Amino acid sequence: MTEIEFLDPSRASGSAGAELDQPDDDEAGGPDLRRLAPALAAAVAWVLAAGLTVMASVSTVYELVYDSGADHQTVSVDAWGRFSTSSLNQTVGHQTRYAIVLIAAAVLLLAAALVAVVRLPVARHLAVAGAALAAATGTIVVLFVDATRNSTAVRARQLATAPGLHTDLGSAVWLTLGATAAAAVGIVLAFVLKVPAEPVHPSEGVAAG
């Protein structure tokens, strides 16, 4: 004779409800911030670098200073190649426009910061390109200002009436170097910091056993 086993409806529905009501670990805890830590740390550094680069693009590259007793005159040139004196802009024109390259570097660094959370390997390449562009621009600016300073010193020695003529570095140089350093820190963080391994779900461990 066949035996029929009756199940308790309350127990069956209770166990099923418990399985359905049990939240998944990922859904309950949300995104694991520990896994995003390398990307977030690098992104903060790259946003800072992009901000410094933008500031450099609107800052002074160098200043020509004439100081002789009571007579003190200053003419500055910004990253867009514009002289502070409008008459020089009309007669001489503009100098090298480093700001165009600085803006391009800022775009690359900002893109790296935005992509870092989703695709950290891609963000690394963007950041390296942006940092290299900023570093190259900063180096060229420093060399150009050094050459201008040398030629100004020679001119000052030739003119006995202009002993106080000299060239000073502008804030754009220091901002560009700071942006390069911040971008490099972000790149190091992106490569050095390791993403924690995903925790093994209990059900997966039982299945594997």
Q: Tell me the per-residue pLDDT of 63-76, one tens digit each, with 9 for 90 and over.
A: 888 776 666 778 88
Structure token digits, residue 140 = 């060229």
Cα 109 from Cα 61, distance rounded (Å): 22
Q: Which residue has the tokens 């867009």?
A: 80
Give me the pLDDT at residue 21, please. 47
pLDDT value of residue 176: 95
pTM more than 0.75:
no
Predicted confidence (pLDDT) per residue in 176-197, tens digit = 999 999 999 999 999 887 655 5
Tell me which residue of 144, 140, 153, 124 sits closest to 38, measured CA to CA. 124
Both tokens of 208, joined, read 């594997």
Please write the tens of the pLDDT for every residue from 103-148.
Answer: 999 999 999 999 998 898 999 999 999 999 999 999 999 998 888 8
Q: What's the whole-number average pLDDT of the chain?
A: 78
Q: Where are the domains of the chain?
A: 34-189
- Non-local CB neighbours of 145 within 8 Å, separated by 6+ positions: 61, 62, 167, 169, 170, 173
- Those residues with Cβ within 8 angstroms of residue 162's Cβ, 6 or more apart along the chain or in another chain: 66, 68, 155, 156
CATH ID of 34-189, from 1.20.140, 2.60.120, 3.40.50, 1.10.287: 1.20.140
